[in-house]
Amino acid sequence: MTARGESIVLGGLDVVRVRALGAPRPASLLFVHGMWGGAWVWERWLPFFAARGWDGYALNLRGRAGSRPVADIGRVPLTDYIEDAASVARRLGAVVVVGHSMGGLVAQALAATLTPVAAVAVTPAAPRGIWPLRSAELVAATLRYAPALIRSRPLLPSRRVMTRLALGRLPPEERDSVYARLVPESARQARDIALRGFAVDAAAVRCPMLVIAAEGDRITPPVVVRRVAQRYGATLYEYPGFGHMLPLEPRWQDVAVDVAAWLSA
């Protein structure tokens, strides 16, 4: 028996829900995708955790899928995405926030403001005070797309650039299909994360936090992710052989098993 997903609307946002098999655990899992992504990033994790008793909810942030439209995606600030996730979290009650990449920074922000049961940050973007541009590939992409970043235009790097940054550890036959699902992203929030930084009050984080680094990550390399974990006194897991799109890469279950064990403990 496998868990099946359904699309629901919470606070004007499209959310994919997968109910737990059997009696659900006291808290739900709220999955937050990263830049250019959507709820589909978690399509393997949702049924995996449902089979282990977790109600799972993966939201589509504003400006994509069935969520509330925006007039200009290029100018959406990160605070809007944080409010999207917070509004869903409030409706769910007891919740564990699981975020990937930019969604991992959203998870950090919610850990400081909503006191969730726990937070899991998978290859997360760093908060203010931790310099993020630490790989040659990311520096090159930042320079290449500087006009879009400066003018707050919709931003979707080329397939070649995305392969270098994020898709390189996917099987070659899957890279085209994953790239085809990516959507233009807010250059404003990308600029703010990369250059200005988003401040998170580490002293306000009271919940347990797990931070996950991937050895081959070129967007949030381990040197950055380790500092994120240190900032909060969080548990740090590092995985060789993985890249930035860890939730979709081969052996993703190895990571999910460890996350499930950490949550259960």
Domain 5-259 is found in CATH 3.40.50.1820: yes
CA 265 to chain centre: 23
Tell me the per-residue pLDDT of 107-126, one tens digit each, with 9 for 90 and over.
999 999 998 999 999 999 99
Tell me the per-residue pLDDT of 143-165, one tens digit each, with 9 for 90 and over.
999 999 999 999 999 999 999 99
- Decide: residue 34, CB within 10 A, 0-12 exposed, 13-18 middle, 19+ buried: buried
pLDDT value of residue 1: 39
Tell me the per-residue pLDDT of 216-257, one tens digit each, with 9 for 90 and over.
999 999 999 999 999 999 999 999 999 999 999 999 999 999
Question: Is the CB of residue 225 less than 8 Å from the CB of residue 123?
Answer: yes
> Strand, helix or coil at 189?
helix
Phi, psi of 40 (to 5 degrees): -60, -20
The pair of structure tokens assigned to 149 is 């970043």
Tell me the per-residue pLDDT of 61-70, one tens digit each, with 9 for 90 and over.
999 988 999 9
* Domain spans in the chain, listed from the N-terminal domain onward: 5-259
Task: Give me the chain's average pLDDT, please.
Answer: 96
Phi, psi of 132 (to 5 degrees): -90, -25
- What does pTM read for this prediction? 0.96
Distances (CA, A) of 100 to 3, 135, 152, 223: 22, 18, 23, 17
Using the predicted structure, report yes or no on whether residue 2 has a pLDDT greater than 70: no
Rounded Cα distance between 81 and 84, Å, is: 5
Q: Which residues pair with 139 in a beta bridge?
A: none
Question: Is the CB of residue 59 less than 8 Å from the CB of residue 88?
Answer: yes
Using the predicted structure, report yes or no on whether residue 3 has a pLDDT greater than 70: no
Mean pLDDT throughout 156-176?
Answer: 96
Tell me the per-residue pLDDT of 126-145, one tens digit each, with 9 for 90 and over.
999 999 999 999 999 999 99
Of 192 and 29, more confident: 29
Q: Which one-letter amino acid corresponds to residue 16?
A: V
Helices (H), ranges, 99-250: 102-113, 136-144, 146-151, 159-162, 172-181, 187-191, 222-232
Tell me the per-residue pLDDT of 202-213, one tens digit each, with 9 for 90 and over.
999 999 999 999
Tell me the per-residue pLDDT of 75-97, one tens digit each, with 9 for 90 and over.
999 999 999 999 999 999 999 99
Question: Is the CB of residue 255 less than 8 Å from the CB of residue 100?
Answer: no
